[in-house]
Amino acid sequence: MKKTKIVCTIGPKTESEEMLTKMLEAGMNVMRLNFSHGDYAEHGQRIQNLRNVMSKTGKKAAILLDTKGPEIRTIKLEGGNDVSLKAGQTFTFTTDKSVVGNNEIVAVTYEGFTSDLTVGNTVLVDDGLIGMEVTAIEGNKVICKVLNNGDLGENKGVNLPGVSIALPALAEKDKQDLIFGCEQGVDFVAASFIRKRSDVVEIREHLKAHGGENIQIISKIENQEGLNNFDEILEASDGIMVARGDMGVEIPVEEVIFAQKMIIEKCIRARKVVITATQMLDSMIKNPRPTRAEAGDVANAILDGTDAVMLSGESAKGKYPLEAVTIMATICERTDRVMTSRLDFNNDNRKLRITEAVCRGAVETAEKLEAPLIVVATQGGKSARAVRKYFPDATILA
């Protein structure tokens, strides 16, 4: 029996009751709904399908709503067609949303684009596929030099690495999505692009105002500002998601693994949930088997202490969603078998609260007795999570 949980993004290929039943049997523990795509009717049907399956099979799974979050995107292009950009050419971004773009200019969704940037900053488009350097700012226009060849399209994400942006934590769409989540009774909210503690507080207050006080907030760390303010974000959150996709665009790619390890370690110390996400078995979107590097990536995240690993496109739109869950579950189960308990007697001198002291004592006792099971009585799950963070050999029954 695996202890590491699997989060599966559900899309058109996996939303049917038949597929959800198979995915639950294969090892899915959490259904992720990506609110960057789809409408309320689609997501509501997916939630209903999962609940029907759980009712029929007796199996359990949590529901996670992943917000779109504050983001910057390109707007319209002539004819809706992509345009080719050449290295060395001049390209302009404008905040005038009436502009229809071409291979020389495009409008962006963010009004503060010109005020947040300075000459010398880098602008990345479409997950970093096109890089540009800011050479001048004139009124509502940011003039850039294109650094590499590439095709620019409509509605593509724009990243500003190292730049602190003034976008609100909750866009109007996010507010409505969270209200929908409260009405549907989701278990978790994965909050995108969290940059500081106040972002988490704002989301929690919005949830409470609409009856979602029991919904747990998983803050997604996706940029340098979030990393800089990580300790205060962790304190305010119920858990953390290592969102390696945008993070790998916002910070140097060689730094991502060290950020991941830091986040997991601090979550273990804080006894809070941590999910490692993005491109874990990415090749399985098209292929029936993962690469050796991907299998090692999943295993290493588990060895570091992640509580859950996540499938994105692999389960939402890939050719082999069921195989991806099955293989990930196999990797989880195999790696869980070599995990040893982490009581850290010599390295952990923190003063313990009563709940944590009891949980630590339970794990120590179970280890000495070689007990196969630790039973945890819990209302909100805090005690069960505290036991889990010591990685006992015993199975946890909450």
Q: Write the DSSP assignment of 373-391 as a string of letters.
A: EEE---SSSHHHHHHHTT-
Residue in the structure block whose two tokens are 């963070």: 389
Q: Who contacts 77 (Cβ-Cβ below 8 Å, separation ≥6)?
A: 83, 100, 101, 102, 106, 152, 153, 154
For position 23, what pLDDT does the model report? 98
For the record, the structure tokens of 169 come out as: 């934590």
| Candidates 3, 195, 220, 389; catalytic one | 220
Residue in the structure block whose two tokens are 């889990």: 388
Q: Taking residues 222-234, what's their average pLDDT?
A: 96
Could you tell me which of 342, 276, 281, 260 has the C-alpha nearest to residue 309?
A: 276
| Candidates 114, 278, 306, 335; catalytic one | 278
φ, ψ of residue 302 to 5 degrees: the values are: -65, -45
Question: Against a cut of 0.85, is the pTM above it?
Answer: yes
| Candidates 13, 59, 68, 73; catalytic one | 73
Helices assigned H by DSSP within the chain: 17-26, 40-57, 113-116, 172-184, 197-209, 224-228, 230-236, 244-250, 256-270, 292-304, 313-316, 321-336, 354-369, 382-388
Q: Who contacts 100 (Cβ-Cβ below 8 Å, separation ≥6)?
A: 76, 77, 78
Active site residue 97: no
pLDDT at 379 over 90: no
Active site residue 56: no
Confidence bin at 377 (pLDDT 50/70/90): confident
For position 346, what pLDDT does the model report? 42
Where do the domains of the chain lie, and which CATH numbers do they carry? Answer: 5-69+169-336 (3.20.20.60), 78-159 (2.40.33.10), 354-397 (no CATH)
pLDDT at 350 over 80: no
CA distances from 139 to 92, 101, 102, 118, 163 (A): 12, 18, 20, 13, 19
pLDDT at 347 over 70: no
Number of H helices and E strands in the chain, helices first, is 14, 18
Active site residue 32: yes
- DSSP, res 320: -
> For 11-41, what is each residue's pLDDT tens digit?
999 999 999 999 999 999 999 999 988 999 9
Kindly give the pairing relationship between strand 105-107 and strand 90-94.
parallel
Active site residue 278: yes
| Candidates 2, 3, 5, 32; catalytic one | 32
3-state secondary structure 96-110: CCCCCECCCEEEECC
For position 348, what pLDDT does the model report? 60
Residue 312 CA to residue 277 CA, distance in Å, equals 8
Alpha-carbon radius of gyration of the chain = 22
